Structure 1
Amino acid sequence: MTTLERIKEISKKRGYSLTKVNELANLGTNTIYSWKTKEPSFNNLKAVADVLGVSTDYLLGKTDNPSVSNKPKEVDIEDENVIMTYEGKPIPPEDLEIMKRFLNGGMGNDRK
């Protein structure tokens, strides 16, 4: 799949026309369409990737993972909206409390 085909595909999934992506990325008229016959500059490709919320590597076909980052998401263990599971099963509240104490610096430390 070419870069232009990937851009078309992800644009469609995001509900954008190529013209709209071109506009949101602040590119010159029909810049994206010109990539059918020539390579995009890095800055222009980056602008399109940012608009579409994907990585430049995805648009270039270097990966099939459209994710912008491979970095793990940080989670605040004190956040009550975080659902924690282990092996697909919820972690019992008493075990979560032990894990929180351990992560906060030790079993005998009651810091919060």
Structure 2
Amino acid sequence: MTTFERIKNLANKQGISLQKVAEDNEFSSNLIYRWKKSDPKAKDVAKIAGYFHVSIDYLLGNTDDPSIPNKKQTITDADLDEMLDNARSFDGKPMTPHDRELIRAYLKGLYDNK
């Protein structure tokens, strides 16, 4: 299935025309129809993916799963230890245990809250 066909199917499921999709995304009225014969620009595919709340990979035919992958990243204690094993302070000296734990807590919070 082509990108055009996927967009057309998504529009049909929501009961809207491709003309409406184009207007809502501030495209020219026939832009989406031109994608029958030519490849769309990446920024346009991204805009359509956001509009329909599907992944770009789905629109491009790289997957049949339209859901957007979970972007949450996690980090393990082993990952943190590896990152901090060779860490140095600004003056080139090894970090104090206190500084190491502060950085560990910051990194853990950063990854866990994404």
TM-score range relative to shorter protein: 0.5 to 0.7
**Structure 2 unaligned spans of 5+:** 73-114
Separation of aligned partners in 2, 1:16 and 1:53: 15
Indicate if the aligned counterparts of 1:22 and 1:28 stay in contact, CA closer than 8 A: yes
Code of the residue aligned with 1:11 in structure 2: it is A
Residue 46 (1) aligns with residue 43 (2): no
Deviations 1:10-38 (A, max 9, x none): 11112221111111111122110000111
Indicate if the aligned counterparts of 1:14 and 1:52 stay in contact, CA closer than 8 A: no
Separation of aligned partners in 2, 1:46 and 1:60: 10
Deviations 1:57-79 (A, max 9, x none): 1010101111123347xxxxxxx
Deviations 1:34-91 (A, max 9, x none): 001110000111111111111111010101111123347xxxxxxxxxxxxxxxxxxx
Indicate the structure with greater helix content. 2
Separation of aligned partners in 2, 1:68 and 1:30: 27
Percent identity between the two aligned chains: 47
Code of the residue aligned with 1:62 in structure 2: it is N
- Structure with the larger RCO, 1 or 2 (CA within 8 Å, 6+ apart): 2
> Runs in 1 of length 4+ with deviation above 3 angstroms?
none
Separation of aligned partners in 1, 2:33 and 2:11: 13
1:18 corresponds in structure 2 to 18
TM normalised by structure 1 equals 0.59
**Structure 1 unaligned spans of 5+:** 73-112
2:28 corresponds in structure 1 to 28
Pick the structure with greater CA Rg: 2
